[in-house]
Amino acid sequence: MSFASLGLNEKLVQAINECGYTEPTPIQQQAIPLVLKGGDLLAGAQTGTGKTAGFGLPMLQRLSETKARPLANGRAPVRALVLTPTRELAAQVEENLRAYAKHTDLRTLVMFGGVSINPQMKALGRKVDIVVATPGRLLDHVSQRSIDLSRVEMLVLDEADRMLDMGFIRDIRRVLALLPKQRQNLLFSATFSDEIKALAEDLLHQPEHIEVARRNATAETIAQRFFEVDKGRKRALLSYHIGHHNWRQVLVFTRTKHGANRLAEQLGKDGLPAMAIHGNKSQGARTKALSEFKNGGIRVLVATDIAARGIDISELPHVVNYELPHVAEDYVHRIGRTGRAGSNGEALSLVSAEEKPLLKAIEKLIKQSADLEQVAGFEPDPNAPVTPLENSRGGNRGRNGGGQRSGGQRNGQRAGGNRNGGNGNGQRTGSSQRRSRPQAERSN
């Protein structure tokens, strides 16, 4: 099957070919014709299956087929809105949409926190057809009256489960109230929950349903391996795997920001160039770390779950769960950074005795048994004391336990409309969560 056979026009097919796409993925095969029809869509597909093209290509075609009336102030209206949970994902989606739209006159803009709002406001003064945004920064623009959402024709919630999991439901509902009632709604999600179903019922009108893989499934292109090791020897075992197998590019996940910083520093001392990426890093630092990792400047990128859905690296060969996630669904999203778009990948998990309950939750979710392996010289000590994990299903997430945004007040020091709070990184923390995740991060 070709992209042209799905009903896409020549300009989009040309752009797709220039992007190196050869044939549509299953989610693209099913989603593109349905979106072109103009109805609402609820789509489920595991991460890395090409969802952005699944909604982006038909969105561009539908917008290019009609012309929008100017706003009362004479400006061109924003015609499509894509909401994403993290800065990295927003940047990735907008970059893809811009590439798809290169032979059209449609213009895109990405907006998120952690950077100055002024360039975004300036860009909104020009023609912008499609905005890709995190909810918090979008609402900053609304409060500054720099964006008008009254003419939005298409709305996409990308990684909707992650947005709800991060506590964005109130922001999403605020955005929905600003949109025209007559519009096309597309909800894409890698996993499903009761909250997602409830949102879909409120948002979507007689939607088509697509699910190209079993819910919460892991991609068949990912080889999953689990290694049993004492907590205190994980770093040594990780360094052994990287060095012994001569891995040149590996993404490593930790549970906390402090742990990511410490591990990156330790790996550097082992002679393995590494950098950390998490919500406390400035946007410039995060962008630099990703760039260095992609171009081979560093071998190891250590990340917290904020990066689980925002990193798209072509043919990333290795992902390591240095620590298992507290929330089992995050395992699916973490390892989904490898084995993307049909490429093969390997996902390793280092499992200490304390993490056995987390491993059982993962096995139940993915409906697979984890065969624990041991590496000679790193066998776990059967007599070592086992200390329970801190707050394994507790703690505050989202807004920092008191309904406040970071910085101790609702908007922190609101410079130029930046809703970043005290640390200027675009995070928001608090207690209005669906699930508990210690030290959760939100990027706006």
pLDDT on residue 217: 65
Instruction: Decide if 229 contacts 355 (C-beta within 8 A).
Output: no
Question: Where are the domains positioned within the chain?
Answer: 4-211, 222-373
The DSSP bridge pattern shows strands 41-44 and 184-189 to be parallel
Same fold, 4-211 and 222-373: yes
Q: Taking the domain 222-373, which CATH number applies? A: 3.40.50.300
pLDDT on residue 423: 35
The answer as to CATH 3.40.50.300 being correct for domain 4-211 is yes
Instruction: With a cut of 70, list the residues of the chain below it in pLDDT.
Output: 46-48, 213-217, 307-311, 314, 341-342, 390-444
pLDDT on residue 216: 60
pLDDT on residue 295: 86
Q: What are phi and psi of 221, to 5 degrees?
A: -80, -5
Instruction: Decide if 335 contacts 321 (C-beta within 8 A).
Output: yes
Q: Give dist(CA 287, CA 412) in Å, integer.
A: 23
pLDDT on residue 29: 94
Q: What is the pLDDT of residues 321-337, one digit of tens each?
A: 999 999 888 898 888 88
pLDDT on residue 73: 83
Q: What is the pLDDT of residues 408-426, one digit of tens each?
A: 333 333 333 443 333 333 3
pTM: 0.66
